[in-house]
Structure 1
Amino acid sequence: MSQTTCIRGVDWLVGWDGRQHVYLRNSDLVFKGPDIIFVGDRYVDCVDIELSGKDRLIIPGLVDIHAHPTTEPIRKGITDETLSPGFWHSSLYEHLPVFDPVDDQGRLACLKVALAELLLSGVTTLVDLSSPFEGWAETLLDSGIRSFVAPSFRDARWFTTNGHSLEYDWDYEAGKKAFRKAQKIVEHVKNHPSGRLSAVVSPSQVDTCSEELLRDSHALARDHNLSWTIHAAQSVTEFHEMQRRHGMTSIQWLDSIDVLDERSVIAHGIFLDHHPWLHWTSQQDLKLLADRGATIAHCPTVFSRRGIALNTFGAYLDNGVRMSIGTDTYPHNMLDECRTAVIVARIIGQSVTDVDCVDVFNAATVGGANALNRDDIGRLAVGCKADFSIIDLTSPSMRPVREPLRSLITVAGNRPVKDVFTHGEQVVSNGAVLNIDLELELTRLHAAQVNMLNVVSKRDWKNRSDQELAPLMLKTVESI
């Protein structure tokens, strides 16, 4: 029999009124097992557990629509500042293939560290775009997070032999084999008995997949009523490659082969035909995205490190494009992503009016939930899942308390995140992750990074060392 828990007298509670997030003051949040059964003033029925909501803000669990947790944490201290002038400084083509875990132990350490970071920043739902390996889904389950596995597959890998031109090694049989493997995983987990594990169909990149693979994978998503996600419009190099192949943009080509619709989640959707770096004239992509009901997975931090930005968050919203937020890089901190999204949008848009904090919060909650076709996560209301975070309002980063949610996004970040619940189960307590030994996994991650750095020169097209590809910030000397 599931226990009933009441968090009594919550100072500030972000509830859902059926249309929008709203504040409730001095309210009760009650959940039984995985489900919320009451949100409002003074719950009078008997409960099994009662907790105090004094000096607390409760927010819905954040929905991370796009992350690569099995690879990104190992790149900390490496891809923070990278140069790749032949590819408009995207790190996709020279750096990411080189700085990648060498084995499954490294990927597992990456995953556990990333999961801890996500939970500590209030994420309760994750879409994990990874190459599948043994123990992947089990680790996600054990962490307590709500996860959508998105096993990746493609027909080609990209490579460069000179640092300025991109080539593709096509292997259609390997692409079909990877797709069949992904299909088995998707069909196995989509109705998992835990209630916390599902799937998203995930062809890797628009320029590494054939039309046949994209059509077949989209049909799989449609048949199982799942979301379908793909990297598209993520670099200038990709934009010109798709123009060379098809005489149209990535977005236009996806639409022409009937895979752009309301289940499509486009990561990262930056280099659309209105982007000023492209100086293009067609100006069709924003309208296509809006008309088809597709969602953008916006991951501002990793691109802002390269001097690259969406143009702009507010412009996409104004054109009717659905928006969601992902992490896509270390640290896997959704609250930091939200703050970066606000700041970058206002700078690129040259106006504070380009976007409001509430627009980004919506994208990080209901925007991601809607993209996953879920109306029971990303919001707090009766009938929704008990996925939420408890914020400590006595934290110095939150005081004085006048506008707590905006303060959380613009000032505090993850510092005051006290407790996190997913599916009615506590996964963070007093600022500590319950199901992951973070110190142990950080030690393992360090060892995995050392192993990776030892093979960098063998992986690089020019046999450069890690110090050449990613030099230290300061010169190292023996004495001063």
Structure 2
Amino acid sequence: MTADWVVGHEHGQHLLLPKGEVVFENGEIVFVGHGFSGEVARRIDCGAALIGPGFVDLDALSDLDTTVLGFDNQPGWKKGRVWPESYMRAGPREMYTPEQLRWQKRYAFTRLIANGITTALPIASLFYREWGETWDEFEGAAEAAANLGLRVYLGPAYRSGNTYVSDAGEIAFHFDEPRGLAGLAQARQFCETFEGRADGLIRTMLAPDRIETCTAELLSQTAQAVRDLNVPVRLHCCQSAFEYQSVVRMHRRSPPEWLRDLGFLSPRAILPHLTYLSGRNGITHESPDLEILADSGARLAHCPLVMARGGTAIQSFARYRDAGLTIGMGTDTHPPDMIANMQAGLMTARLADGDPGAVSASDLYTAATLGGAQALGRDDLGRLVPGARADITVIGLDNPATGQVIDPVQTILINGSGRDVRTVVIDGRIVMQDGIIPGIDHAEMRADAQKMFDGMVAQYPDRTVHHPPLSEIFPPSYPLRKATV
């Protein structure tokens, strides 16, 4: 493969190769540079484009995105983002059928590929579930990933508890620890069964849902399972002021302190979103949170776009980077546009520090490639170098909307989009070429997803406090004037 620009790798960091070449065979990179002298079976000239390593998404949406429902509809507890007590007492239910849950994984995986993501750790909301994720849907996820050629780390999410809201608007917790431990047992068995399938494309992980919905016993046993299985573990942590303060109230320690004392933190721990740490964002409880996390080797799954939509950002990317914390990226929304995510990350980082020189385009690109690979303990991903897996993303630079090319990485961080991703190679297999994923009708899938989404939204009054009609839960941006006959 040749292009106007190639992102190579040398001495632990990326470098740019004008008019560069990438050669791969049997799923492995064999050459990156200029003037390959060997024979090749096929030549692909990508022209005005950037050939780079595939993006690693540590928090990849794998259901229908419901965060969009809260975009202009706040506060969340009034809009169905927290179960009303009446709904919880009646017994929460699955809002999708088993067939729909499996279909969603396949749909989401096509969107990941279309946006240049070659390695994904799926994430879905448990707000719409009876409790945790199921073996059946993740068996379907493994089948879909193998069929499409996506590299994934899979594991059904589990939890010990959930929040609910009373009619008076007070948020409380309900815990069922045996149910959480049963979820962990299923997740552990899933890891033992599916690790390494599809010639290594299918890997596994443990996924306790959110720190505030997990008991000490569940997290301690999860940490032991991580050590036994040697798999990554992802736990949403320090995501909101409510979560942080709830952990302090229940456990008398900050979330990082509590995880440290439970033996949970390690280089295998991946923590989205780390937005709230001690002494920042109105949190007054003093503790050396950032130092604890950096010293433990835990990794950040940075999701700046979805967090900025809610009005928050880490304080700051430069501070976390300089503390030695490994930063990878997660999209956590639809579309899983990693380019837009990097753009949001760059802007919020500069705003946080009030300094355009604090963080560069290369910092975000590195996080989306090398940072994610490091979070997974993979030195064969996130870089184009001989011996690495042939996971490649081609981003076009010839769209008139892109404008003039300054530097290919800077240019995509200014004017690029996930829609500029042309071709994707995973483990040496071309899984998308010129925007076409074999066997996938994107328009048909979008229409099916909309019908499924509408069916889910129709159930909102039952699971929203005081059960208001949909028109009150999700009012239009402006008054509607419908056509009259």
TM-score, normalised relative to structure 2? 0.91
Q: Deviations over 1:394-447 (max 9, x none)?
A: 222334223111111221112321111111111111123335332222121111
1:92 deviation in Å? 5.2
Rounded to whole Å, the distance in 2 between the matches of 1:368 and 1:162 is 42
Segment of structure 1 superposing worse, 364-373 or 446-455: 446-455
8 A Cα contact 2:53 2:392, kept in partner? yes
1:406 to 403, 407, 410: 410
> Displacement of 1:115 after TM fit?
2.0
Please tell me whether residue 442 in structure 1 is matched to residue 470 in structure 2.
no
CA contact (8 A) 1:386 1:421 kept: yes
1:222 to 212, 221, 227: 227
Moved more, 461-470 or 214-223: 461-470
Partner deviation per Cα, 1:299-329 (whole Å, 9 max, x = no partner): 1122211112211111111222111110111
Matches within 5 A, 1:20-59: 20-59=13-52
Give the whole-Å Cα distance in 1 for the aligned partners of 2:174 and 2:94.
19
Shift of 1:359: 0.9
Change (3 A) 1:329 1:54: closer
Equivalent residues of 1:109, 1:444 under 8 A apart: no
Task: State the match for 2:73 in structure 1.
Answer: 82
Paired residue for 1:416?
Answer: 420
Paired with 1:299 and 1:401, the residues of 2 have a C-alpha distance of: 27
Residues of 1 paired with 2:318 and 2:281: CA distance? 16
Q: 1:12, CA displacement in angstroms?
A: 0.8
Give the whole-Å Cα distance in 2 for the aligned partners of 1:77 and 1:163.
26
More moved, 97-106 vs 119-128: 97-106
Larger mean Cα displacement after TM superposition, 128-137 or 371-380: 128-137
Q: Is the 1:82–1:306 contact (alpha carbons within 8 Å) kept by the matching residues of 2?
A: no
- Please show how residues 450-461 of structure 1 align to structure 2 within 5 Å: 450-461=454-465
1:162-185 Cα shifts (integer Å, max 9, x gaps): 474322221122112111111111
More divergent stretch after superposition (444-453 vs 361-370): 444-453
The one-letter code of the counterpart of 2:239 is Q
Amino acid at match of 1:248: R
- Residue of 159, 168, 173 corresponding to 2:173: 168
- CA displacement 1:35-70 (0-9 Å, x = unmatched): 111111211111111122432310110000012312
Residue 158 of structure 1 is matched in structure 2 by: 163
Counterpart residue type for residue 72 of structure 2:
E
Please state if 1:247 is matched with 2:252: yes
Tell me which of 301, 304, 307 is aligned to 1:300.
Answer: 304
Are 1:381 and 2:376 an aligned pair? no
Instruction: Specify whether residues 350 and 470 from structure 1 end up closer, same or farther in structure 2 by C-alpha distance, changes over 3 A only.
Output: farther
Match of 2:58 in 1: 65
User: Is the CA contact 1:105–1:448 (under 8 Å) kept in the aligned structure 2?
Assistant: no
* Structure 2 unpaired stretches of 5+: 125-132
In structure 2, what is the Cα distance between the partners aligned to 1:99 and 1:446?
21
d(CA) in 1 for partners of 2:422, 2:29: 20
Q: Return 379-388 or 324-333, whichever deviates more.
A: 324-333
Unpaired segments ≥5 residues, structure 1: 1-6
Separation (CA, whole Å) in 1 of partners of 2:168 and 2:334: 25
CA displacement at 1:341 relative to structure 2: 0.7
Cα distance in structure 1, aligned partners of 2:437 and 2:166: 44
The percent of aligned pairs where both chains have the same amino acid is 26
The Cα of 1:333 is off from its aligned counterpart by 1.1
Cα displacement (A) at 1:101: 4.5
SS at match of 1:297: strand
3-state DSSP of counterpart to 1:38: strand
Distance 1:431 1:469 in 2: 37
Q: What is the rounded CA distance, in whole Å, between the counterparts of 1:220 and 1:400 in structure 2? A: 51
Query: Could you tell me how far 1:118 is from its partner in structure 2?
Result: 1.7
Superimposed CA distance per residue, residues 264-289 of structure 1 (whole angstroms, 9 cap, x where no aligned partner) = 11111111113132233x24101111
Q: What's 1:212 paired with?
A: 217
1:247 to partner: Cα distance? 1.4
- 1:177 has 2:177 as partner: no
Provide the C-alpha distance between the structure 1 equivalents of 2:415 and 2:291, rounded to a whole number of angstroms. 34
Aligned residue pair count: 467
Cα drift, residue 143 of structure 1: 2.1
Residues 77, 165 of structure 2: 8 Å contact kept: no
How far off is 1:109 after superposition? 4.2
Q: Which secondary structure does the structure 1 equivalent of 2:179 belong to?
A: helix
Could you tell me whether the CA contact under 8 Å between 2:70 and 2:76 is conserved in 1?
Answer: no
**Residues 148 and 431, structure 2, Cα contact 8 Å, conserved in 1:** yes
Cα deviation digits, residues 441-469 of structure 1 (max 9, x gap)? 21211111221122111111221233322
Q: Is the 8 A contact 2:64 2:453 kept in 1?
A: no
Q: Which residue of 1 aligns with 2:123?
A: 129
- Counterparts of 1:222 and 1:85, CA distance in 2: 37
Two-structure CA RMSD over aligned residues (Å)? 2.3
Contact 1:35 1:384 in 2 (8 A): yes
Alpha-carbon distance change, 104 to 468 in structure 1, aligned in 2, over 3 angstroms? farther
Q: 1:64 is aligned with what amino acid?
A: D
In the alignment, the residues of structure 1 paired with residue 167 and residue 293 of structure 2 have an alpha-carbon distance, to the nearest angstrom, of 35
In the other structure, the counterpart of 1:429 is 433
CA displacement, residues 83-103 of structure 1 (integer Å, 9 cap, x when unaligned): 11779x9x85369x9998432
**Segment drifting more, 456-465 vs 110-119:** 110-119
Which letter does structure 2 place at the counterpart of 1:34?
A: G
Name the SS for the 1:464 alignment partner.
coil
CA contact (8 A) 1:106 1:445 kept: no
Cα distance in 1 for residues equivalent to 2:235 and 2:229: 17
- Distance in 2, Cα, partners of 1:410 & 1:107: 36
Q: Which residue among 84, 103, 113 is the counterpart of 2:107?
A: 113
Q: Deviations over 1:367-398 (max 9, x none)?
A: 11111111111110000011111122322233
2:397 pairs with 1:393 = yes
Q: Any idea what SS the aligned residue of 1:351 has?
A: coil
Secondary structure at the counterpart of residue 268 of structure 1: coil
Shift of 1:479: 5.6
Structure 1 SS opposite 2:20: strand
Question: C-alpha distance in 2, partners of 1:140/1:462?
Answer: 41
CA–CA separation in structure 2 for the residues paired with 1:398 and 1:99: 46
Q: Is the partner of 1:50 in helix, strand or coil?
A: coil
Report the Cα distance in structure 1 between the residues aligned to 2:257 and 2:27, rounded to whole angstroms.
41
